[in-house]
Structure 1
Amino acid sequence: MDKTKSTVLENPSRTYPKHTGKPEVLFRLWYWFGKVRLHLLAVLFFGLLTVGMTWPVARHLNTHVTPGQQPVMTVPYLNLWTLAWNHRWLRGETENYWDANLFYPHQKTLAYSEPQFGMGLLTAPLAFLGANTILAYNLLLMGFLWGAGMSVYGLCWYLFQGDANGGSSARGASRKICLWVASATAGVLYGFHFYIFLEMGVLQLLATLFAPLSFLGLHRFVDSNKWRDALIFCVGFLGAWYTCGYYGLFLSVFILCFVLRFGYRKLLEKRALMVSIGTAGITIIGLVPLILGMQSAKTAMSLSRPKFIVENLSAVLGNYLKFPQNSWLYEKFLDVSSPDRGTFLGILLICLSVIGSIAIFRLRSSEKSGGLLGTREPNSGALQDRFGFPRRYGVFYIAMAGFAFWLSYGMALIPSDAIGLGIYRFLVWISPYNLLYQFVPGFTSIRSPYRFYIFSVLFLAVLSGWSVLWISERMRDRWGRVLIPLILLAVVVELWPLPARLVRVPGSVRELPEIYQEIKALPRDATLLELPLSRGGSEISLETESRFLYYSTFHWRPIVNGYSGFSPRANMGLDQVIAHSEPETLLSALRAFGIEYVLTREAALNGAEKKKLQTLEGKGLVSVAVTDKNRLYKVDSNSVAFDASLPSVASLKFHESKQSPAHVSLSLYYDIAENECKLTTPWMCRVEYDVMWYGESEGSEPFFISRAVYRNSHLLTKTSNAIELDLNAPPPGTYRVVVQQHSGRGSVSMSGVCQVHESGFVTFSPEV
């Protein structure tokens, strides 16, 4: 009798003949393909959807970039420069990562905006292969959309699958198809939401794939205690931080909520505790370089957002009711879109998530009542047995969707004058976002709290996926086969955007104006200023600054120009000097900044700027190259000796602070000569002093001492010779104040009598 050996593949209930040689390999590959074919279909589905919904980006991967809904290319140019800088550092072409080549002579300038190291790391192979930055940028853009859809698909598949393999093979296949459609629907609702196409010109805001990946790792780890799943969380969490600081900071809030709700029990298990400690160590070690770099810049330059800016960029209810302008359905077909910035969630997202939430509470109530829902809902009990999502995580996702919605309101709930509003003022103060702003590091640098709403979209998308699965179980097979695919189709139709607007971007130095060949031949440390600078902060002028920044990636010389999330105050002063001062003052400002070369686009200069430059030719500026109406000047630093040190303080004044009654403001007025400019930064000509407060009964020791450092930069001129700082105020009373300065020419002491009132009002009389 011929005995046939058998082997078990994955499923112990089924055996297969054991083959030898090549047929066995093919058989195993076919079996593996049978297990993953639905996932491969998802890969293809989201890939085609990405190409279609971003069209025509795929046709111009290495030549064009989309600004999204923005009228100018300001942010895309900045992101192209940031990506190129990361590639340059990864190739070992620069030593100091944080001291980028913009805003010279300031330091830590990469931290003035998102460093986006994760994006550089993801596209590093392209950089080493010699691909241009535009190709890497566009592949990242499309990859982020595809990855967001796939990560939510994977999250929902894991949460909803239960024992969907049970039952007959035909019934099991039907359940898997419903599970696939439900997961794919959730992936489309999140990965291709209106928000994505509204912010398509801001590359880092498209990196939404890491949040669901983090939750997938957490869910798997709670169930398995395995290192593999903990590492999935680490990749997602660190990926969010290193691609978009907004998302990393926001995600941390929801991760903390998840750990407090589900993770505390794992501390009682030895293996889970060890893996948790290791995971925490990996994330902390991974975040240390980013946090230290960003914090060093924030400490030096005080990179914090005023509350009024945060309030203006907080969501309000009206934003959620505005139809998006980038939608084919709402703008092109129905013509109901709004030109204003909106945070529209989507009709299908709201409807499906509401149905899913109702289903979760009904299933939970049926479980608490001691059984199924009887004959009225014959499939509900079976659904609950197979799928554990409503029993374990449903309420959490509902709560987090509401919490993210609340946080997106930011400072919008805080009235401009909350004094005297009693209990309402107290309730506003303890509102979640205000507490985050007051006590959690990093939130003072956040400008746009309304972006929290993408996390609300994430949680609602998961609830919507559950809704589709719940509907499929309640429908008869023949109706379900029609309705469920129609839901997915309707979601795609509602979210389908208008074709992306593209702008051609130079990809090599040969495509730039010819003058850049001359700049590339300059010494590597030659400092450059490109004129004209931005005028008045208009979008078009800021785009010019950002374009200059991108063009610097083809020569990498240090430039005074720049565009970022924060701009040094000294650069604004330089802009004013160029616009309104005499030619001699302009030359002094160039020397104060340490500028060696000036590139002018003569067609863009106004008459006054041209006249100043012509006056300085031969008197401090030497023309070294002229091509296509672009002129390159060299600043003659040898003709006149320049003293960069700060002069003495001529006078000082204390007055009430604009920040709060608990502070006082100190203004220092410097003795600046006519046509003279002096530059102070936290790294050169540092302004540092002690403020000593003596009580009315003057003794040998001061009552209160404030040590203050000017945490910004300033270009001092004859007409702008004051530096203002906020200090902690002493208790109300009358004091003799002595200011001891520790920068400039020696140590200078000045004094006066200052009276601090309870209301914050301050009077000051200097001593002669």
Structure 2
Amino acid sequence: MLTRLFALRQWIYLPLAIVLTWPLALHLPTHLPLGAESAATVPMFNLWTLQWNADRLQALYAHYWHAPIFHDETGAFAFSDPQPLTGLLFAPIEMISGNPVLAYNLVLLLILTLNGIAAYHLLRGLDIDDISALLGGALVVGLPFVFRELGVIQLTVLFPVLFALRYLYAFTQTTTLRHAVGLGLAIGATFLTSSFYGLFLSMFLLISPLFLLRRDHFQREALRNFAVAVLIAVALLAPVVPSQARLTARFSRSTETISNNSAEAVDYLRLDTRTLGHDVAPWLQTSGGSGQRLYPGTGLLTLAIIGLISTRRTTDPRWINFLRTGIVVAVLISFGLKFNLGEWLPYQTLRDFYPGLRQMRSPFRMAVFAQLFLLIFAGYGLARLWRWRALIGRGLVVVIVTLGMTELLFLPARLHEFPSDLRDAAWVMWLAQQDAGAVAMLPLPGGGRVREFEFTVESMLQSLEHGHPLVNGYSGLFPSSYREMTGVMNNFPNQASLELLRERGVTHVVIDRTWFTDVRQERLREYASQLERVYADERTTIFRVLSTDT
């Protein structure tokens, strides 16, 4: 397996990833890719997530869930996707380079490369010829869903899902121990790189026996090997999934939030407006829908249609029916609460009984599974065309793949320059020398928009340097204590806000210059007996919160 994985020809996907993310390669140590994100909040938050993983690795994962945000909430790291396996890839690169931005970008390029390699192995495992499998891998590297989500690194990690599908098929054909081990490892890796994809994958694994189960699967050796796959997956997930489920059980998304993040049919005919061919194909739409862009690309779609037609009689019908059903299920789930059958909302029923869905915000992301199932059919289509009339078929393959990937070009990639002095700002170094105690950062976000949390996420990155927990925070889920804190701190300084800070163990308030107004300056003077200015530079002022005894 490892020999095949590192075969040189597969690593063609690395230069392809570099080209498709250009000019990121010129700015690896200094810039973060944004994808379709309107601000750098989410990429920087994911950088913080990977840094926290690296930090906890050095401590042998002690207090892993108790990240230094939303103080004094316990288990705050569980409020978002923890990505422990991605963090494990990130940690040694950061340690060697000393540059977390460089490590983040190298991990991202590695992910895109592994996506292509995994797709290649999936297609080869389906008896698709080498050239067609290599081209299919290229289509996955350039998948439009991934490049829209380039700023959300956990949504770019497709290779564990692809390996899971590869070993699911292999195990149903020959129930060997090797295939069982591969399946168990791939399932575990999917959850440990993206809890979104892990949850989605579990749905397809649960319905797969309806299509793929055979009588010989009940033989003793097959059952024993299946148990090995289950035990491996459980062993990998046991340290993470149950704890995260317990810590987030109190949360639930509102129906309004779910509806706002549910796809509509027209979204599947829309490409991102920054892509080269977003309005070229006559059937593509440039308006309407939920705002998502879920079109898989004309090249992929054309090849998938050819594959759908060519596999009607030549391929295992159970596998083909599983793939067809997978496409339908993925699309319907992506519609979320916007899909109904009369008065019945199927997605709401699914939320009510399927663990983890109550905390999930964005059903539209299930569209990526529809694209992956289409990719498998595209692999069959590539193989069929490659064999058809020799040079004519091969010429058509080259044209379709080239034009298809050109249509999806998203160049130049949108990048955000990481603030060069963020980690070693003078006030951060000063605060690192102070006694233990929590910190409040001002200004607070003015509302709930992602862009407004950029300062908060920068502060979270800085907290990893100075070592003090924050009462502030950004995450996928926000605890009620944070909303209470922001409601009170919007009137800082006053007696209620100062009492709240003392209750939460806050010893210092760090204020950016953008917060100051004449009115606030006057109020700070009024409360000078409870707030001592202990640090100031041209951008940042720090006050110590004095005890009531003082």
CA contact 1:104–1:527 (8 Å) conserved in 2: yes
Indicate whether 1:238 and 2:188 are aligned: yes
Rounded Cα–Cα distance in structure 2 between residues aligned with 1:395 and 1:326: 35
| 2:328 alignment partner in structure 1 | 402
- In structure 1, what is the equivalent of residue 531 of structure 2? 621
* Structure-2 residue corresponding to 1:459: 373
Aligned match of 1:261: 211
Separation in structure 1 between the aligned mates of residue 223 and residue 377 of structure 2, nearest angstrom: 30
- Whether contact under 8 Å (1:152, 1:212) holds in the other structure is yes
Structure 1 residues 527 and 332, CA, compared in 2 at 3 Å: closer, same or farther?
farther
Contact 1:620 1:639 (8 Å CA) reproduced = no
The more displaced of 391-400 and 323-332 is 323-332
Q: How far 1:434 sits from its partner (Å)?
A: 2.9
Q: Which has the higher strand share?
A: 1
Separation in 1, partners of 2:310, 2:382: 11
Alpha-carbon offset, residue 156 of structure 1: 0.8
Match of 2:440 in 1: 529
SS of match in other structure, 1:123: helix
Cα distance in 2 for partners of 1:37, 1:532 equals 49
1:259-297 Cα distance to aligned partner (Å, 9 max, x none): 342245354222111111121112122222212221231
> What's the CA shift for 1:97?
0.6
2:212–2:319 CA contact under 8 A, matched in 1: no
1:286 aligns with 2:236: yes
CA contact (8 A) 1:198 1:326 kept: no
2:428 to 516, 521, 524: 516
Q: Tell me if the contact between 1:77 and 1:549 (Cα under 8 Å) persists in the aligned partners.
A: no
Please give the alpha-carbon distance, in whole angstroms, between the structure 2 residues aligned to 1:629 and 1:472: 62
Secondary structure, in 3 states, of the residue corresponding to 1:55? coil
Partner residue in 2 for 1:450: 364
Alignment of 1:423-502 (within 5 A): 424-425=342-343, 428-429=344-345, 431=346, 433-473=347-387, 475-502=388-415
Give per-residue Cα distances to partners, 1:91-127, cap 9 Å, x unaligned: 1177211011001011100011111111111223224
| Deviations 1:15-63, CA, capped at 9 Å, x for gaps | xxxxxxxxxxxxxxxxxxxx9799532322x112101001111222222
- In 2 relative to 1, CA 108–329 (structure 1 residues): closer, same or farther, beyond 3 Å? same
Distance 2:493 2:533 in 1: 20
CA distance in 2, matches of 1:593, 1:36: 55
Distance 1:209 1:155 in 2: 10
What RMSD, in angstroms, separates the aligned Cα atoms of the two structures? 2.5
- Aligned-residue offset at 1:448: 0.3
Aligned-partner SS, 1:329: coil
Q: Provide the residue aligned with 1:505 in structure 2.
A: 418
TM-score (norm 2): 0.93
1:573 Cα offset (Å): 2.8
- Over 3 Å counting, the alpha-carbon distance change for 1:69 and 1:347 in structure 2 is same
CA contact (8 A) 2:71 2:471 kept: yes
Distance 1:461 1:78, change over 3 A: same
Alignment partners' CA distance in 2, 1:492 and 1:581 = 53
- The aligned amino acid for 2:405 is V
Matched with 1:393 is 319
- AA matched with 1:521: Q
Q: What do the CA deviations read for 1:196-235 (whole angstroms, capped 9, x no partner)? A: 1111111111111111110111222233332222222122
Sequence identity percentage: 27
Q: Which runs of 5+ in 2 are unaligned?
A: none
Larger-Rg structure: 1
Q: SS at 1:303's partner residue?
A: coil
The equivalent residue for 1:191 is 141
Corresponding residue pairs, total? 545
Contact 1:188 1:491 in 2 (8 A): no
Mean CA deviation greater in 448-457 or 574-583: 574-583
Distance 1:202 1:266, change over 3 A: farther
Q: For 1:577 and 1:211, how far apart are their aligned partners in 2?
A: 44
Give the aligned residue type for 1:403.
V
Deviation at 1:391, TM superposition (A): 4.5
C-alpha distance 279-336 of structure 1, shift in aligned 2 (>3 A)? closer
Aligned-residue offset at 1:130: 5.0
Other-structure match for 1:347 = 298
SS of the aligned residue for 1:447 comes to coil
For 2:547, the equivalent position in structure 1 comes to 637
SS class of match (1:503) = strand
- Structure with bigger RCO (C-alpha 8 Å, 6+ apart): 2
Query: 2:527 & 2:473 partners in 1: Cα distance?
Result: 24
In structure 2, relative to structure 1, the CA distance for the partners of 1:352 and 1:101 (3 Å cut) is same
Which of 530-539 and 570-579 deviates more?
570-579
In 2: Cα distance, 1:108 partner to 1:101 partner: 10
Partner of 2:487: 576
- 2:17–2:141 Cα contact (<8 Å) kept: no
Aligned-residue offset at 1:358: 1.8
More helix by share: 2
The 1-side partners of 2:459 and 2:296 are apart by 37
Q: Distance in 1 between matches of 2:97 and 2:140?
A: 34
Q: Partner residue of 1:40?
A: 8
Which residue of structure 1 aligns with residue 465 of structure 2? Answer: 554
Amino acid at match of 2:236: G
- 1:148-178 deviation line (CA, Å, top 9, x unaligned): 12111111111024xxxxxxxxxxxxxxxxx
Distance between the aligned counterparts of 2:6 and 2:252, measured in 1? 48
Native 8 Å contact 1:112 1:567 kept in 2:
yes
> What do residues 369-392 of structure 1 show as CA deviations (whole Å, max 9, x unaligned)?
xxxxxxxxxxxxxxx4xxxx3545
